[in-house]
């Protein structure tokens, strides 16, 4: 059962990171919100990818929390969301630096 949870978690983390990459590609010179807010260009595919990632995160967290205890579920969601958040942070930092130099 843990193998299924690991596979679902990896797929969810990749999809979540890909959703930020999709937003970055259509908003190369705009700051992007992390979770709440609306970017200037927001294709509907991003919402569907994030919804799928969220569902997969919840299923994997449920399996992990059954196997390893209640605290493991939220922990794996946070750890899985970190790469996407880091890429978004770096994008916003690059945009802010470009705005400051011009």
What band does 21 get if pLDDT is binned at 50, 70 and 90?
very high
Q: Which pLDDT tens digit goes with each residue over 27-36? A: 999 999 887 8
Q: What is the mean pLDDT of the chain?
A: 92
> Which residue's entry shows tokens 């994008």?
91
| 3-state secondary structure string across the chain | CHHHHHHHHHHHHHHHHHHHHHHHHHCCCCCCCCCCCCCCCCCHHHHHHHHHHHHHHHHHHHHHHHHHCCCHHHHHHHHHHHHHHHHHHHHHHHHHHHHHHC
Q: pTM higher than 0.75, yes or no?
A: yes
Range of the structural domain that residue 56 is part of: 2-101
Residue 38: pLDDT above 90? no
Domains: count for the chain: 1
Q: Which pLDDT tens digit goes with each residue over 4-14? A: 999 999 999 99
**pLDDT for res 1:** 85
């Amino acid at each position: 059962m843990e193998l299924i949870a690991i596979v679902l978690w990896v797929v969810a983390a990749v999809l979540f990171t890909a959703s930020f990459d999709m937003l970055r590609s259509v908003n190369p010179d705009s700051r992007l919100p992390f979770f709440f807010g609306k970017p200037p260009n927001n294709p509907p595919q991003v919402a569907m990818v994030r919804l799928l990632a969220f569902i997969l995160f919840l299923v994997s967290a449920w399996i992990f929390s059954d196997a390893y205890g209640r605290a493991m579920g939220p922990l794996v969601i946070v750890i899985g969301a970190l790469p996407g958040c880091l890429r978004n942070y770096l994008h916003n930092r690059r945009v802010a630096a470009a705005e400051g130099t011009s």
